């Protein structure tokens, strides 16, 4: 049995055991009032409100914050510690960085020792969240001020706030476009292909770099699917009405036709088998690559990979819809342990991290979940030009999880890499398959799974 599968089985077992043991203590957190029994009687303010009435000097304790950012825990996070403790002088923040975040934190859930503040593991089933995490307020109230809080809400109560809200588009090198003679950003797929051909004809840069060999960057294309659909309801709702969603004219068909076309027309790297992700960031900064389809999280990484940060920007995925959408996706949610002994300090940290740290833009390459934090300049310009930034509509409660079940059963892997590699291989002639052959294989597998799951 593979390590990841073993960890998943162990984690699910531990969750079931703890839920069974702790089920009698969950009524307070399920009520939506937002407080655990140890925070006072029902007549008192819930902790997510009560901490706000305290002076910064009153808030104290040794606060353990778990993070997945092993790369910046000893640098950027130490700056956060200094800034936060200057505001809350009686709190001592200690960070613990986990290499395999989900795999490392899940066994600890059973012990009730998983820090005061952490990123809510996606491995925890939605319905079990109240067993482990502190309520942050009602969904009705919080969605007025925050994006993405509905993703980890249970029975109208919020248990986490996204540490960043990211989006997917096409990261491009402005200097390469200028050298190629591309004077306006392409908006449609036809215009995009034309721009890539101009890059190939007029520069030495690679028009579009797939990062085929590392494979996982190919999964990033799925993040822009809703831009192709031109709808915030397609991905979680409309697709569930279609047992064969990869037919010509369907969003997935049109979306991945672009991946196939750029490869088939020779607008990618000469030898996809030798691509290298780390090298690609430097190459793009140096003007050796014109475009890559990636999430906004990669923008800062590419900008900082060389001396030409100002040349690197992001545009909307080319689409043929009347609306240009940047579909927003929530990163990890920052959460608070139900078992923390330092809840006022924990709430203070969450509030400061979301509203004041600058993490969402500077480190995650996204936007803040707080609606009070302004959009970055580049996105403000896109919004002024008519682009819409939207959160995807969630599935109806009775259908939640069905999309993932169908995807897993079919082994299509909407967010997987294997089928995307097959698509590139077919496009460059390494497989005896047309684009429609690939789509038909996806459709047949999906339909069989759909009929099984949705019966």
Q: Pick the more confident residue, 396 or 136.
A: 136
d(CA 301, CA 293): 14
Residue among 325, 324, 348 nearest 116 (CA): 348
Quote the tokens at residue 98: 């986990």
| pLDDT at residue 52, rounded to an integer | 95
Mean pLDDT of the chain: 89
For residue 39, give both structure tokens: 């925070």
- Residues 164-188 have a mean pLDDT of 94
Question: 378 pLDDT exceeds 80?
Answer: no
Domain residue limits, the chain: 47-164+332-369, 166-328+398-453
- Average confidence (pLDDT) over 230-254: 95
Q: How far is the C-alpha of 158 from the C-alpha of 164, rounded, in Å? A: 16
Residues 146-158 pLDDT 10s: 998 988 889 999 9
- Residues 6+ away with beta carbon under 8 Å from 338: 29, 36, 130, 131, 132, 133, 134
* Among the listed residues 63, 74, 120, the one whose alpha carbon sits nearest the alpha carbon of residue 97: 74
Q: Is the pLDDT score of 11 beyond 60?
A: no
* CB atoms inside a 10 Å sphere around CB 356: 15
Residue 281 neighbours by CB under 8 Å, 6+ apart? 298, 301, 302, 305
pLDDT digits (tens, 9 = 90+) for 345-357: 999 999 999 999 9
Contacts for 35 with CB less than 8 Å, ≥ 6 apart: 28, 42, 44, 45, 46, 47, 48, 50, 135
| Separation between Cα atoms, residue 347 and residue 118, nearest integer Å | 12
pLDDT tens, residue by residue, 48-94: 999 999 999 999 999 999 999 998 999 999 999 999 999 999 999 99
Beta partners for 288?
none
Residue 414 to residue 219: CA distance in whole angstroms: 8
Q: How confident is the model at residue 43 (pLDDT cuts 50, 70, 90)?
A: low
pLDDT band at 379 (very low <50, low <70, confident <90, very high): confident
Cα(12)–Cα(20) distance, integer angstroms: 12
Helices (H), 203-293: 225-229, 251-264, 277-285
User: In whole angstroms, what is the distance from residue 358 CA to residue 372 CA?
Assistant: 13
Please name which of 378, 354, 355, 376 lies closest in space to residue 367, comparing C-alpha atoms.
376
Domain 166-328+398-453: CATH architecture, name and number where available = 3-Layer(aba) Sandwich (3.40)
Q: Which of 69, 49, 230 is nearest to 138 (CA)?
A: 49
Question: Do 226 and 388 meet the contact criterion of CB atoms below 8 Å apart?
Answer: no
199-213, 231-245, 305-319, 366-380: least confident range:
366-380
Predicted confidence (pLDDT) per residue in 410-451, tens digit: 999 999 999 999 999 999 999 999 999 999 999 999 999 999
| Block residue for tokens 């990163």 | 331
Do the domains 47-164+332-369 and 166-328+398-453 sit in the same CATH topology, yes or no? yes
Task: Look up the CATH architecture of domain 47-164+332-369.
Answer: 3-Layer(aba) Sandwich (3.40)
- How would residue 455 be classed by pLDDT, with cut points 50, 70 and 90? confident
- On whether the CB atoms of residues 308 and 289 are closer than 8 A, the answer is no
Q: How many other CB atoms sit within 10 Å of the CB of residue 134?
A: 27
Structural contact between residues 394 and 355, judged by C-beta atoms closer than 8 angstroms? no
Pairing of strands 137-138, 91-97: unpaired
Strand partners, 367: 165
Out of 31-45, 89-103, 144-158, 349-363, pick the least confident: 31-45
- Contacts (Cβ under 8 Å, ≥6 apart) of 161: 136, 142, 146, 148, 149, 333, 334, 350, 354, 369
> Do residues 259 and 228 make contact, with C-beta atoms less than 8 angstroms apart?
no
Query: Alpha-carbon distance 101 to 332, whole Å?
Result: 11
pLDDT at 253: 98
pLDDT band (50, 70, 90) for residue 255: very high
At 387, phi and psi to the nearest 5? -70, 145
pLDDT greater than 80 at residue 18: no
Residue 194 to residue 242: CA distance in whole angstroms: 32
Beta bridge partners of 66: 96
Query: Is residue 5's pLDDT more than 50?
Result: no
């Amino acid at each position: 049995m593979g390590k990841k599968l073993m960890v998943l089985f162990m984690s699910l077992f531990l969750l079931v055991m703890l839920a069974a043991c702790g089920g009698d203590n969950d009524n307070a957190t399920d009520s939506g009032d937002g407080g655990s029994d140890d925070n006072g009687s029902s007549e008192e303010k819930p902790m997510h409100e009560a901490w706000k009435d305290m002076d910064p000097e009153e808030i104290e304790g040794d606060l353990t914050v778990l993070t997945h950012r092993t790369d910046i825990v000893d640098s950027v996070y130490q700056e956060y510690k200094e800034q936060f403790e200057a505001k809350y002088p009686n709190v001592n923040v200690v960070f613990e960085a986990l290499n395999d975040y989900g795999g490392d934190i899940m066994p600890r859930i059973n012990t009730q020792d998983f820090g005061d503040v952490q990123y809510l593991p996606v491995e925890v089933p939605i319905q079990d969240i109240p067993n482990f995490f502190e309520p942050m307020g009602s969904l009705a109230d919080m969605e007025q001020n925050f994006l993405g809080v509905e993703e980890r809400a249970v029975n109208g109560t919020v248990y986490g706030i996204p540490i960043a809200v990211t989006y997917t588009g096409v990261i491009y090198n402005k200097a390469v476009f200028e050298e190629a003679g591309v004077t306006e950003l392409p908006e449609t797929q036809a215009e995009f292909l034309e721009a890539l051909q101009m890059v190939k004809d007029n520069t030495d840069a690679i028009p579009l770099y797939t990062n085929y060999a590392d494979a996982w960057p190919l999964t990033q294309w799925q993040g822009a699917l809703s831009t192709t659909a031109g709808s915030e309801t397609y991905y979680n709702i409309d697709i569930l009405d279609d047992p064969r969603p990869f037919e010509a004219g369907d969003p997935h068909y049109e979306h991945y036709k672009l991946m196939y076309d750029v490869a088939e027309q020779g607008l990618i790297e000469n030898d996809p088998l030798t691509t290298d992700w780390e090298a690609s960031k430097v190459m793009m900064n140096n003007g050796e690559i014109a475009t890559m389809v990636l999430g906004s999280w990669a923008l800062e990484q590419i900008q900082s990979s060389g001396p030409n940060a100002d040349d690197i920007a992001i545009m909307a995925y080319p689409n043929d819809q009347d609306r240009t959408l940047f579909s927003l996706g929530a990163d990890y949610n920052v959460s608070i342990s139900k078992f923390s002994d330092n809840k006022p300090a924990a709430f203070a940290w969450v509030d400061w991290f979301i509203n004041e740290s600058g993490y969402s833009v500077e480190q995650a390459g996204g936007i803040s979940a707080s609606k009070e934090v302004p959009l970055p300049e580049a996105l403000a310009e896109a919004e002024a030009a008519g682009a819409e930034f939207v959160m995807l509509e969630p599935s109806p409660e009775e259908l939640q999880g069905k999309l993932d079940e169908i995807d897993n059963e079919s082994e299509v892997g909407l967010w997987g890499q294997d089928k995307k590699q097959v698509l590139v291989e077919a496009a460059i002639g390494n497989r005896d398959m047309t684009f429609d052959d690939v789509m038909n294989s996806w459709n047949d597998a999906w339909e069989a799974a759909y009929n099984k799951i949705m019966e």
